[in-house]
Structure 1
Amino acid sequence: MQKAEKRLVAILRRAKQAGISIEAINTYISTEITKNTTKDGQKPTYLQKFGKFKSNFNIFGLITIGLVLTAGKSYFSRVFEGPDSECLIKMPFDETKVFRKPEDCSICKGINKVDRISNISQQDFDEFYALKAKPVIITDGTRGWDAQDLFSFNFFKDLYEKYDTGRTGRTVCQFFPYKTEFDSLREALNMSEARARLEPGTKEWYIGWSNCNDRAGQELRKHYKRPYFLPDISENMALSWIFMGGPGEGAHMHVDNVHYASWQAQIRGRKKWRLAPPPECHYACEEFSAIVEPGEIIVVDTNRWYHQTHILPGDISITIGTEFD
C-alpha cells in the first residue's frame, strides 16, 4: 500500500503541474465508473475505462486513484490544498522530498564529524554553523533550564490529560508512531505503567509529536527557553517537536520537509545521530555519527542532511526542539 501511495502522489503532482485540477480528475473517474455497458453487454473493466489515459499515465497509477477515491476526497485535498487539510489517508512520510532540488555539496565537503563546542557567541554560531548548514552539538545548550529535572513520561501524560491531548481549534497535532501500534498521542500516553517504565519483557516504544496545543505549549515553555547561542534576530517557530522513547531504533534514515533548520535538546537519555549527505553528494561527502548527551543541543538542517537516530541503553530518551530562521 505504501508503494501505491507514493505512486499516486507522484501522479497527482504531475497532474497539478500540467494544470489538471482535482475536480477534472474526480469528474472523469466518476463518469467512467458509472458507465455500465460495452459492446458485448457486460460492464466495462477498469482497464477499459482508463484506456484513453494510457498515453499520459500508467494503468497502475489510475487504478490507485480510483481506489483512493472510494475513501473520499480528503487525500486529494492534502495534496492540492496543503498540509493543514485533514485526510483519511496519510501522506507517505518518505515522499516529502521526492521532488526536491539537487543540493549544493559545499554544505558537506570536508566534514567528517560533528563539532562539540560550548560557550559559543551568537555571532560565531551564526557565521560558522547556521549559515553554512554545518551540524554542531552545543554541550551547554540547555543551561538555565529546569526541564531536565521535570520532564518525564508521567509529566507529559498529566500535561496532555489536563489540556486535551493533541487538539486545538485548528487541527490535529501531528503524531509519529514509528514502529509502535499507537494511532494517537492520547493512546500512547495511556500505555501500561510497566511499558512506560521500560520494564524488561515489555514492548519497545518510541514516539514523536508536534506540540500544537497552545495551552500545553505555554506550560512547557516555562521549563525551557530559546537557546542562548541563537542570534537575537533569529526567530524560534512557535511549534515544538517532542520525541520520547526507550533504547532501540528511533527515527529511520530520512530528510525532513520543514521550513528552516532546527535544534533538538536532549533532556534525558542518550541519542546517537547518524548523518548522511544528500544522494547527489555521495561521492563528494562522508557519512558520520555523533552521540548527544543529556543537557546538550544538536543543531542540524534536517531539510538538507539525511538523518537517523538510535536511543542508547539507559534512561528514557526525551528531546524537545523547534525550527529557527
Structure 2
Amino acid sequence: MAAAMKEGVALEEMFLQLKNEFVMKKKLDPKTVRAHFLARVKEGPPRKIDMLERYKLSLFFLLPVALAILLGAILLGDTLLEISEGRHYCALETNQFLMEMVRPIFNCELCRNMTRIERIPKISRQEFLEKYAYTTIPVVITGATDGWKALDTFSYRYFKKLYTHHRGGMESVDKDCQFFNWGYPFESMQHVFNMTDAQADLEPGEESWYVGWSNCHGDTAKVLREHYETPYFLPEKSETSTLDWIFIGWPGPGAFMHIDKVGRPSWQAQISGRKKWKFVPVPECAGICKDEYEVIVEKGDIMILDSNQWYHSTFVMPGEISITIGSEYD
C-alpha cells in the first residue's frame, strides 16, 4: 500500500513539475506541451529496481504489442477501464498513459479565469445546464441530498449485508464490474467484507483503508436506488448511467491522481464524512490555468466533475467514515 501511495504522489509531483517547466516555455503550443508530457509519463519517475521491477521491465518488450491491441480495442469502442486497474497498480500506470495518449485536446480557455471551485447552496436546472452541466467546470452543490434515505442507512455493514445476501452481487463486482483498492491490501470485494470488525471500524491500532467499486448487478442496483435520487438539478432530459459508483473508507489517502475514460460527466454524492478533492488541469493548460484546485466536499454535498478532462485525487478528512455514491449522466 505504501509503495502504491508513493508512486501516486510521485506522479502528481511530476505533473506539477512539468507544469512549472512549461510556464518557462510559454511559446510551446498545446500539442508540443502534450507530446512532452507523454514522453515524461512513459519514462516515469526514477525508481530503485527490485525483483518486481525487473519483472515489470522484462514486460517492456511486450508493451508495443499490448499497446497496439489496447488501442485497437479503443477504436472499436471498448473501454480501457475493463483492464483490472484497481487490482494492479502497474496496470493503472499503463492505463493512465493510454488514456492520456487518446484524450482530446482540452480547451484551456474554460479554466483561464477559474480561481477556485465554487460551492453553491442551491441551483436551478437551467442555471446548472448553462454553467456547469457540460462545460467540464467542477462545482459542488451543497445540501443537495436532502431527504435521501442513504444518509441514514448506508454504512460498511449495510453494504456487507447487501452484497452477501444478494446472490451473485459480490461476484459480479469482481468479474463483470470494477473494483478499486487504491493501493490498499484488498484483492476483491470478498476480501473487503471479510475484514475484522475492528478494522472495519478503524479501532485504535488498526490501519486506515479506502476502496471503491462499480455496481452492475441488477438486484443490488434496485435496492441501492431505493435510498437515493437523481440529483434534482440535472438537465430534465439527461439520463444517468445504469452503473452505481461507491467509494468508502477512513481518513487518509483515497484515490491517487488519475484521469478517467468514462465518456460522460459525473456526479458524486457525499453520504458520510468529508473528502478533499484535488484537481490538476491537463498539461496543455500549463501557464494558462492554475496549477491545481482544491475543494472540500461535506456530508450532503454533491460533487460535479468531468473526470475525463481533469486529473483528480481525493483525501478523506479526519472524522467519520467517508461514503460516496455516484454515477454518470448525459
Relative to the length of structure 1, the TM-score reads 0.74
CA distance in 2, matches of 1:268, 1:257: 26
Offset of residue 271 of structure 1:
0.1
Corresponding residue for 1:25?
none
Task: Look up the equivalent residue of 2:97 and give its one-letter code.
Answer: E
Which among 154, 158, 175 is matched to residue 155 of structure 1?
Answer: 158
CA contact (8 A) 1:166 1:211 kept: no
CA contact (8 A) 1:78 1:86 kept: no
Distance 1:77 1:183, change over 3 A: farther
- Bigger share in helix: 2
Distance 1:296 1:101, change over 3 A: same
CA distance in 1, matches of 2:300, 2:173: 34
Distance 1:140 1:60, change over 3 A: closer
Unaligned runs of 5+ residues in structure 1 are: 4-58, 69-74
CA contact (8 A) 1:86 1:171 kept: no
Task: Look up the equivalent residue of 2:319 and give its one-letter code.
Answer: G
Corresponding residue for 1:193?
197
Which among 118, 121, 125 is matched to residue 118 of structure 1?
Answer: 121
RMSD: 2.8
CA distance in 2, matches of 1:244, 1:62: 38
CA distance in 2, matches of 1:87, 1:317: 24
Which among 132, 135, 143 is matched to residue 132 of structure 1?
Answer: 135
CA distance in 2, matches of 1:303, 1:251: 15
Offset of residue 95 of structure 1:
3.0
Distance 1:285 1:80, change over 3 A: same
Which secondary structure state, in structure 2, belongs to the residue aligned with residue 291 of structure 1? strand
Which among 181, 184, 206 is matched to residue 180 of structure 1?
Answer: 184
Count of residues in correspondence between the two structures: 262
CA distance in 2, matches of 1:169, 1:155: 16
Offset of residue 80 of structure 1:
4.5
Task: Look up the equivalent residue of 2:99 and give its one-letter code.
Answer: K
Corresponding residue for 1:225?
229
Offset of residue 168 of structure 1:
4.2
Offset of residue 190 of structure 1:
1.2
Task: Look up the equivalent residue of 1:310 and give its one-letter code.
Answer: F
1:146-192 deviation line (CA, Å, top 9, x unaligned): 10100000000000001234334995220001121111112111111
Which among 256, 265, 283 is matched to residue 252 of structure 1?
Answer: 256
1:97-137 deviation line (CA, Å, top 9, x unaligned): 23122211022111121111122110100101113221111
Task: Look up the equivalent residue of 1:62 and give its one-letter code.
Answer: F
1:290-313 deviation line (CA, Å, top 9, x unaligned): 000000001011111111100001
CA contact (8 A) 2:239 2:329 kept: yes
Corresponding residue for 2:111?
108
Larger Rg computed on CA atoms = 1
CA distance in 2, matches of 1:176, 1:168: 14
CA contact (8 A) 2:279 2:310 kept: yes
Corresponding residue for 1:310?
315
Relative to the length of structure 2, the TM-score reads 0.73
Corresponding residue for 2:61?
62
Q: Map of 1:1-325 to 2, 5 A cutoff?
A: 61-62=60-61, 80-81=72-73, 82-83=78-79, 91-92=91-92, 93-99=95-101, 100-163=103-166, 164-168=168-172, 171-286=175-290, 287-325=292-330
